[in-house]
Structure 1
Amino acid sequence: MTRQRSSRSPTSRRAPAQQVGKLRIIGGEFRRRQLPVLDSPGLRPTPDRVRETLFNWLGQQFYGQAVLDLFAGTGALGIEALSRGAACVDFVERDPRVSAQLSANLTLLNITASAVHVNDVQAYLTRAAKPYSLAFLDPPFHQQLAAACCHALENGGWLASEAMIYLETETSLAPDVPINWQLHRETQAGESTARLYQRQLP
């Protein structure tokens, strides 16, 4: 996905990131637009096929709604949601360079109703919350972050009553999610498994 797949060493964090790739928007208003992607360890856009599958699952349920993109990376999922009619997206990404490129890409698309938050996701989820209709959650693999973030979303007031939550994890992980999250769709691609949940009232 668009996230940091593994922890980075201090050396890799200091290495300069360069624009060496492109992110292609596959649907909606910005369809076929290509955006710069940094050469940063562990960073890669969500594959086109996975994004297409996800947004086919979602249909128009999120149109005009607020979206939260955690571990945003390139912002591929959030930008795709904006392209397809989301009202606004809050992107959370801790790497300042990656965040700066994401902000630049939003400016390139003339997106003004969204924001990039340079912050650690777990720290961000301790702040005062507002409810979102759709949340993207794709934490680094093999760092045991998925369960804590899922429960922080549920317990911290971040989700609307029937919010949709997209979670991607390594296939070997059986995710520990809140009991009131009902599995809506699931697919596997390579080393990852993508799941879409719908929140039910506790």
Structure 2
Amino acid sequence: MRIVGGQHRGRVLVPPSGRDVRPTSDRTRQALFNILEHGDFFTDDAPTVAGRVVLDAFCGTGALGLEALSRGAEAALFLDISRPSLDLARANAATLKETGRCQFIQGDAAKPPLARQAASLVFLDPPYGQGLAPRALESLSAAGWLAPETLCVVEVGGNDPFDAPPGFEPLDDRRYGDTRVLIIKRG
């Protein structure tokens, strides 16, 4: 598992032990960031990743948030209910010498604490097959984690149903093996 682009390209991340955490593959991350960096998703004409505050919810290894930092994101917020996952994300940030631009928050993305800071780019990679993504989006929005017009990248299982909650507009839907990646925007 490596950072696939930006200033930390090629740097190795510590993978999870066991099967509780399922990190996004390098290939899927590369495809996703190509879409984000070449897409026109914001009305302010600013870059999709560079300069943004990013939330990596259900962060696991932190690979998505760290990839965003490598590509110029201003800051990354890592949210996970699991202390070992947060410790792993923290260790990976330390390996890249990025802890100064990171915040690590232990909490359930489906029942999050009140936000310390709103993000304009969100990565949401919940466990597959549990229907957590729509509920987490609504809860994160209600708790102040999502800025107006936040772009949300949601990863679900290839066969998992997903309906964007009210107030979220679907923009893109792609499949990578057994993974489905949706890009939606909060209105």
| Contact map agreement 2:107 2:113 (CA 8 A) in 1 | no
Q: Which residue does 2:6 correspond to in 1?
A: 28
Q: Which residue does 1:73 correspond to in 2?
A: 60
1:127 to 114, 133, 153: 114
Alignment of 1:94-105 (within 5 A): 94-105=81-92
Residue 35 (structure 2) pairs with residue 57 (structure 1): yes
Give the C-alpha shift of residue 128 in structure 1: 4.1
4+ residue segments displaced more than 6 Å: none
Q: Secondary structure at the match of 1:161?
A: strand
Larger radius of gyration: 1
Q: Secondary structure at the match of 2:110?
A: helix
Q: Which residue does 1:174 correspond to in 2?
A: 161
Residue identity matched to 2:53:
A
1:38 to 3, 6, 16: 16
When normalised by structure 1's length, the TM-score is 0.80
Residue identity matched to 2:31:
T
Residue 93 (structure 2) pairs with residue 106 (structure 1): yes
Give the C-alpha shift of residue 47 in structure 1: 1.2
Give the C-alpha shift of residue 161 in structure 1: 1.7
- CA RMSD, Structure 1 to Structure 2 (Å): 1.7
| Contact map agreement 2:110 2:137 (CA 8 A) in 1 | no
Q: Which residue does 1:157 correspond to in 2?
A: 144
| Contact map agreement 2:109 2:140 (CA 8 A) in 1 | no
Give, in whole Å, the separation in 1 of the partners of 2:151 and 2:137.
12
Q: Which residue does 2:171 correspond to in 1?
A: 184
CA deviation string 1:97-144 (max 9, x = no partner)? 232122122112111120222222233x24245321101111111222
| Contact map agreement 1:62 1:133 (CA 8 A) in 2 | no
Q: Secondary structure at the match of 1:117?
A: strand
Residue identity matched to 1:28:
G
The runs of 5 or more residues in structure 1 that have no matched partner are: 1-22
| Contact map agreement 1:150 1:178 (CA 8 A) in 2 | yes
Residue 106 (structure 2) pairs with residue 118 (structure 1): yes
The runs of 5 or more residues in structure 2 that have no matched partner are: 38-46
Q: What is the percentage of aligned positions where both structures have the same residue?
A: 35
Residue identity matched to 2:153:
Y
Give the C-alpha shift of residue 89 in structure 1: 0.6
Give, in whole Å, the separation in 1 of the partners of 2:92 and 2:176.
27
Q: Secondary structure at the match of 1:43?
A: coil
Give the C-alpha shift of residue 69 in structure 1: 0.5
Give, in whole Å, the separation in 1 of the partners of 2:27 and 2:173.
14
Give the C-alpha shift of residue 183 in structure 1: 1.7
Give the C-alpha shift of residue 38 in structure 1: 2.6
CA deviation string 1:49-70 (max 9, x = no partner)? 2111211121131211111000
Q: After alignment, is 103-112 or 23-32 more displaced?
A: 103-112
